[in-house]
Amino acid sequence: MLKRALVTGGNKGIGLEVTKDFLERGFEVIVVGRDFSNFNLKDENLTAIEYDLSNVEELPMLVEQIGHIDILINNAGYMQPKYSYDNYPKEAKEHILNVDLHTPVELMTLVSKGMKEKGYGRIVNTASIAGQIGHPDIWYGIAKAGLMNATKIYAKLLGAHGIVVNCVAPSPVETDMQKDNSPERKAEFKKTVVSGRFAEASEISKAIVWLATDCPEYISGTTMDINNCSYMR
């Protein structure tokens, strides 16, 4: 039987590279995203589900529709750099917290029920260096810090059931998320990395797929820093 992987935001950027890698490995992949208008990937083992991941309340119905999965990749997320800390609309704050934190946590709760019954599961959360440093988009940083902590919590809660939970924390990646960043801010970041460039989406996806497949069981509850020496600890 094929292993089944659910990838949120698997229709573009890092998530798309993860989706491609899983398909190449012969996995069945369910991609959940808000917009598939530019998604041209075709494969007999691929299912695309249009869903607004800010809708936390209807996630139980989504998971019921999908059925059992072996691997969960909580990849979907976004920034709102246009808002300042002292002028952050309530609706915008709630929306980013839902997509970047509340939904990933709820999905871990929901899909782990089936994983526990089977005695196997892999969960990888995509956080960000923003959760480790003082980030200009305050609620993005707060959400990603929360997701890293949730990784530790769920690794403890689920580990005895054969479920491994880990996280990646990339620094800026060359994806659509950079479109709202100013040239000045981009240039400033590039000074902090030894290679002088943003990460490629495929570099992050390789780490995610390893954590979801070949990673030893004893590596759990960790956050893998992927920042090219820009934040060493």
Positions marked catalytic: 140, 144
Structure tokens at 78: 């976004």
Enumerate residues 6+ apart whose C-beta is below 8 A from 54: 95, 98, 99, 103
Q: In what order do the strands lie in the sheet with 163-170?
A: 46-50, 28-33, 4-8, 71-74, 121-126, 163-170, 223-226
- Give the H/E segment covering residue 73: strand 71-74
* CA distances from residue 194 to 178, 190, 199, 205 in whole angstroms, order as listed: 19, 8, 11, 20
Encoding tokens for residue 52?
A: 């607004």
Other CB atoms within 10 A of residue 72 CB: 27
